[in-house]
Structures are given as C-alpha cells and as structure tokens.
Structure 1
Amino acid sequence: MKLLFKQRAFTWFDSYDIYDENENTVYVVKGQLSWGHCLKIFDASEEHELGTVKEQIFSWWPQFELYEGSDCIGTLKKEPWGWFKPRYNIDFNGWHIEGDWTEWDYTITGPDGEKVAAISKELLHWTDTYVLDIADPEDALYVLMFVLAIDAEKCSRN
C-alpha cells in the first residue's frame, strides 16, 4: 500500500493531507496549539479522530507519544548516537527506524528484520512531501504516526 503525505502550505499550525495511490484523501492531520507539537489524525471526512502524535517537551532527547484514540500505543525517541544516519527507537511492536544521511529516506523494520515500510521524501515541492510504501495496509495509521513524529522532530531541530 502506498500513501502520499503532503504538508499544507500557508497554515498557522502543521496540517497535512494523506492520499492513497488514486489520489483519494485517506487521512487529514491537523496541528493543535500546545507546548511542543501536537498532531491529531482524522479520517477523510474529518469526523472521527483516529490518533494523536504528541511531543514530550521535558526530555533530554526528542520524544513523542503516540495515541490511538485515548490509548497510548507507544513512543518514538531519537537515538543520540546516530551521527551520520538518524535512528529512532520505537516502543511499539519491536519496530525500529533508520534513515539515510540526508534524512530524506527512512526504513521501518520489524523485530525479525522484515521491512514494515519505506518512506522517501519527494523533492521539488513547496512543502514536505513523502511517499509511504507500507507492507501491510493494517499498519498504515501507525506508520503515518511515526512519519509525523519524525517530521515534527526535524522541524523542532531546524
């Protein structure tokens, strides 16, 4: 399954539209006013909140909590030792994320080394645009949450 992740231009808070391969809106992401990043994920109709990505501002290294509904399903923490390749620890299903030195392409792997998703940034766009190639469509929301957290971490750093 492939998803196209596009940041909206000219908004006060981070906002994104997530499209499927046929350019149909699958998810809508809206930023909220808070200390640190807080991103709410909605279905295409924007009637049902599906998840939240919330930055923890009182931590030594960038850290985000991920919620499905009101349940915390895991955290994403940036590893401090990824000097040339960014690495993130995920407290969810044994997943691990590693990026390339440009921080444009990432791979999410499962506990046995199997590829869960490949994320690549598309260049020459006004806003951040990523392609998410997800092995199991049931993991789409979770992969989206981790990509949102990584994008927010990069935004906070810059």
Structure 2
Amino acid sequence: MRFVMKQEFWSLGDDFVIRDEHGTERYHVDGRVFSFGDKLSLRDTEGNELAFISQRLLSWGPSYQIHRPGYGPVEVAKELFTFFHCRFAVDGPGDEDYEATGDFLDHEYEIHGSRGPAAVVTKRWLSWTDSYGIEIAEGEDPVLHLATAVVIDLVCHDGKKKH
C-alpha cells in the first residue's frame, strides 16, 4: 500500500492529510494545539479515531505512545546515541516490535520487523509543508506505520526540534 502524508499549510497544530496512491483521502491527523506535550488523533474519513498519539514527557529522550482501540499501547522512542543516522525503537505488544532506521539527513526511513521490511518513509525535499511518501508492505498494519511516520516527523522535522 502506498500513501502520501502531507502536513496542512494553514493549521495551528500538527495536522496531516493522508491520501492513498490514487489521491483519495483516507485518513486525517489532528494535532491538539493547547496541551502539555504532543497529542494527536489519527482518524478515518468518517471521523472514527483509529489511533491516539501522545508524547511521554518524563523520559530521557523523545518518546511517544500510540494507542489503538483493541490493541495494547505501542511505545516509539528515539535512540539517543546513534552516529550519522537516527534510529527509533517501536515496541508493541507481543511480537509487534519494529525498528525504524533513518539516513544521515532524516529523509529516508526503513521500518523493519521480525518478518522483514514493513514500511519505507520518504520525506520530500522541496515542499512548503512536511510531505512524505509511505510504502507499507502487504500484511502490515497501515494505521500503526502511519502513526509511526507521524512520530518520526514530530521528532525529526518539527520546527521545535525535540531531540
């Protein structure tokens, strides 16, 4: 599955529109403006919340939790001591563990799990707002990997630079 995630230009919070490869809007990410730490809601086009992303404030480095109805929480944390690239641990319930590794400029991320490559996240170079191409492998959970891509953006490309 392929998606394009683009930050909305005229928004107060971290808001994104996510479209499929045909240009059809599939998801919307709504960032809360007045909150302690980042809090975002990933919703389908009907307005149903599919994931809630919240920043963990008392941690050694940038750390977020992804809550999805019917699933246990997923912890996404940036590893602090890596050289020449960023790495995130995506620790979910059971065998739902992944590692996201980025290139030197934080524009290309590969997400790998126990079954191999799960997703690739690519940031566009020249764009007015943050814009990403996201390719998710067959059989993988798109909501989890889209929410993980949102966390990577918050940590690596947000204007406030949380790392």
What TM-score do you get using the length of structure 2 for normalisation?
0.90
Residue 100 (structure 2) pairs with residue 108 (structure 1):
no
* Runs of 4+ residues over 2 Å off in structure 1: 69-73
Counterparts of 1:83 and 1:138, CA distance in 2: 29
Q: Summarize the alignment of residues 76-87 of structure 1 with structure 2, pairs less than 5 Å apart.
A: 76-87=76-87
Partner residue, 1:98: 101
1:94 deviates by 2.1
Gaps of 5+ in 1: none
Provide the rounded CA distance (Å) in 1 between the counterparts of 2:66 and 2:114: 19
Corresponding residue for residue 43 of structure 1: 44
Could you tell me which of 122, 130, 155 is aligned with 1:128? 130
Residue aligning to 1:34: 35
* Alignment partners' CA distance in 2, 1:138 and 1:44: 20
The amino acid across from 2:152 in the alignment is I
Q: Does 1:54 align with 2:54?
A: yes
**Structure 1 pair 153/72, CA: closer, same or farther in 2 (3 Å)?**
farther
Q: Displacement, 1:10?
A: 1.9
127, 141, 144: which one pairs with 2:143?
Answer: 141
Q: Which runs of 5+ in 2 are unaligned?
A: none
1:63-98, Cα deviation, whole Å (9 max, x unpaired)? 000000385421011101112110011112121110
C-alpha separation between the residues in 1 aligned to 2:49 and 2:70?
A: 10
CA distance in 2, matches of 1:28, 1:103: 23
1:10 & 1:70 partners in 2: Cα distance? 33
Structure 1 pair 137–28 and aligned structure 2 pair: CA distance change class (3 A)? farther
Cα shift readout 1:38-65 (whole Å, capped 9, x = no counterpart): 11011013x2111111111111111000
RMSD: 1.5
In the alignment of these two chains, the number of paired residues is 156
CA positional deviation for 1:136: 2.2
